[in-house]
Amino acid sequence: MLTLQKVTKVFNDTIVLNEINLEVKKGSIALLLGSSGVGKSTLLRILCGLETIDSGTILLDEAPLAKKLHSIGMVFQQFNLFSHLTVIQNITFPLEKVLGYSHKTAQLLALELLHKYDLADKATLCIKRLSGGQKQRLALIRTLALKPTVVCFDEPTSALDPILTTQVAETIAQLAHDQFTIVVTTHDTMLVEKLPCTIYLMKKGSILESASSYEYLKNPERFTHINNFIKGHQIEIEKNHFKPDL
């Protein structure tokens, strides 16, 4: 279980995360929902050790997270792939350099994952030949190859069309089913419908409201803030979609 207790982060006198409490059980998905700038990515960057906290505690299976950073995997919004390497080298490079795997062992694991996620035929291509959805899958494979127990996704569907969004949601749901602990940030309200998760609506560095997606979808009116956020977004999307050509 991943446990955050009163986690606070300050950037230049601005409180970006304000006493965040969160519990994510093994095999479950926490969906951090909220407008731009509320602190979603900062929270993920803290979890994977890219930022420190100013106060509070983070535990993974009751041990301080700092001792278990290797257990946290991160799939970045911009994927952060190595553009000068091929698809398979993007997976084998960290395995050899970070985990000290032999080249052969790294190749075997990479190929197994490429097959599993339907990218084996792209193994020797360079990154710029991949579509957005394929880059996303490769970023996930590279993360999974390092054998994390917690996987964080920062805006996993921001660059994807609705069909790919559904595929990504299915992949994330499957990872939870396979007993990974998952934290996802998004302002894509479609994910709420597609992921069996606990929704945490963030506002100005705090968690304003939470709900299981099942309970929320059964009775949206019960969760005023989440409902307003989701409805507000849908209205915005519809307004933009139906904007007449002038």
Ligand X SMILES: Nc1ncnc2c1ncn2[C@@H]1O[C@H](COP(=O)(O)OP(=O)(O)OP(=O)(O)O)[C@@H](O)[C@H]1O
The site partner of 16 among Mg ion, ligand X, none (C-beta below 5 to 8 Å per kind) is: ligand X
Q: How far is the CB of 62 from Mg ion (least distance, A)?
A: 29
Q: Which of 4, 20, 22, 41 binds ligand X (CB under 6 A)?
A: 41
Q: How far is the CB of 186 from Mg ion (least distance, A)?
A: 9
Q: How far is the CB of 39 from ligand X (least distance, A)?
A: 4
Distance CA 87, CA 78 (A): 16
Q: Which residues bind Mg ion (CB under 5 A)?
A: 40-41
Of 40 and 135, which has the nearer Cβ to Mg ion? 40
Distance CA 189, CA 231 (A): 9
Give me the amino acid identity at 36: S
Map the footprint of ligand X across residues 1-40, applying CB under 6 A: 11-12, 16, 34, 36-40
Task: Determine the 3-state secondary structure of 166 from DSSP.
Answer: helix
For residues 227 and 221, the answer to whether their CB atoms sit within 8 Å is yes
In angstroms, the Cα distances linking 244 to 26, 231, 232, 237, 238 are 47, 21, 20, 14, 12
Q: How many residues bind ligand X (CB under 6 A)?
A: 12
In angstroms, the Cα distances linking 21 to 43, 128, 207 are 11, 40, 8
Q: How far is the CB of 91 from ligand X (least distance, A)?
A: 26
Q: How far is the CB of 46 from Mg ion (least distance, A)?
A: 13
Map the footprint of ligand X across residues 97-126, applying CB under 6 A: none
Q: What share of the chain is helix, strand, coil (3-state, %, to 5)?
A: 45, 25, 30
Of 124 and 234, which has the nearer Cβ to ligand X? 234
Of 47 and 175, which has the nearer Cβ to ligand X? 47
Question: Which positions lie near ligand X, rule CB under 6 A?
Answer: 11-12, 16, 34, 36-42, 187
